[in-house]
């Protein structure tokens, strides 16, 4: 990974080595901790789950959709566009993103003391 980061940074002559197509504060924090230069793209994709798609396929589809939406938003991306998605699954159901403190507390109470799964996927698009 470090070799790729160096190569992309060199190719771009100091420009952001990647575009992050995600609004996640956690993803920005991870990139900052790694010392990875990036620029955030504010994109929106439909995150509906039909209940038939496996959680793994769901997060992979969304990660790639975010990367593609970010690349489409840029006229000519000078660096790869990275999209990502994470889903928490309890009893086979993907739990949606909580909207506000009350929903966060309700989700934590629902998960407390129970086994659950967390799926994360990353998608990269370079046009």
* Tokens representing residue 103 in the block: 């929903």
The per-residue pLDDT for 6 is 46
Length of the chain in terms of residues written = 127
85 catalytic, yes or no?
yes
Provide CB contacts within 8 A for 123, sequence distance 6+: 60, 63, 64, 65, 66, 67, 68, 82, 83, 84
pLDDT band at 90 (very low <50, low <70, confident <90, very high): very high
User: Which of these is catalytic: 10, 50, 85, 102?
Assistant: 85
pTM score of the predicted model? 0.79
What gap in Å lies between CA 21 and CA 43, rounded to an integer?
6
- Range with the poorest average pLDDT among 5-9, 25-29, 113-117: 5-9
Domains of the chain by start residue, with CATH: 2-85+120-125 (3.90.950.10)
């Amino acid at each position: 990974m470090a070799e790729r980061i160096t190569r992309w940074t060199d190719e771009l002559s100091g420009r952001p080595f990647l575009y992050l197509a995600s609004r996640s504060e956690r993803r920005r924090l991870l990139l900052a901790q790694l010392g990875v230069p990036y620029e955030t793209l504010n994109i929106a994709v439909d995150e509906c789950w039909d209940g038939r798609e496996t959680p793994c396929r769901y997060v992979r589809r969304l990660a790639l959709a975010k990367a593609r939406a970010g690349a489409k938003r840029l006229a000519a991306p000078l660096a790869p566009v990275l999209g990502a998605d994470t889903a928490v699954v309890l009893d086979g159901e993907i739990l949606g993103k909580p909207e506000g403190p009350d929903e966060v507390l309700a989700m934590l109470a629902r998960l407390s003391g129970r086994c659950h799964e967390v799926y994360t996927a990353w998608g990269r698009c370079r046009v």
